Amino acid sequence: METETYGRLEKLHAKYGSREFGKLCQKLLAIAFQMAGYSHIVERGVQGVDIDVAKEKGSKYAIEVKTTTKKYINFEVKDMEGLQRRKKDGYQPILAVLCLNMFSDWIFAKADRLKPGSIYVARLRAYKLCELEKCITPFFDKALNEHFKGAMREGQRYLNDVLRQRGIKVSETWS
């Protein structure tokens, strides 16, 4: 993680707290996937798998997003079940984790063999998708750089507007 990225993420976390911070990172991650060439993106701010992404001809991922300041995340039964439902539609289930510390980057881990419960972030390295991480991380840095001021000012409202302007489907209501 770039030092500047870490500093901005720390400021967002300090202003909004852990829960809201996670939702902001989720929205920025959806923008990063679009910047990386994924054309079909659905970001769910309320319920279900957090993000679906697909390329016109190629990869399809259902992504559960977790952020933490600790050494572990909570992977709940509902998270696992949601990812399994998307797998039936041809999406590869992915757990995306961002641990907020200076030397961390996004970890994208294959989630189909993970069990619900507390999972140490370091354990996810055995399931990681290195190429996807290398592809998305610089775009996440760019998305955060472009939208940091707006996110600091208006939080999710700002990022939801950005997602819509970019043609990304945003689901904000219970389905």
Q: What CATH number has the domain bearing residue 38?
A: 3.40.1350.10
CA distance 93 to 145: 28
Handedness of CA 40, 49, 61, 6 (dihedral sign): positive
Mean pLDDT by 10 residues, the chain (175 residues): 91 95 97 95 86 91 96 94 92 96 90 94 94 96 97 96 94 54
Nearest-angstrom CA–CA distance, 54 and 160: 20
Neighbours of 37 (CB within 10 A): 12
Q: How many CB atoms lie within 10 A of CB 159?
A: 25
Query: Residue 90: CB partners within 8 Å, gap ≥ 6?
Result: 60
Please report the pLDDT score of residue 143 as a whole number. Answer: 97
Paired residues of 60 in beta bridges: 54
Question: In the prediction, which pLDDT does 47 show?
Answer: 74
Q: In what order do the strands lie in the sheet with 169-171?
A: 107-110, 92-99, 60-68, 51-54, 40-44, 169-171
95 is written with which tokens? 């757990």
> Are 95 and 124 contacting, i.e. CB atoms less than 8 angstroms apart?
yes
Decide: 97 and 129 in contact? Cβ < 8 Å: no
Crossing angle of helices 156-165 and 130-154, rounded to 10°: 120
**Is 31:166 a contact under the CB 8 Å cutoff?**
yes
* pLDDT reported for residue 57: 83
Strand-pair partners of 171: 44
Number of domains present in the structure of the chain? 1
- pTM, 2 dp: 0.94
Q: Which domain holds residue 55?
A: 3-171
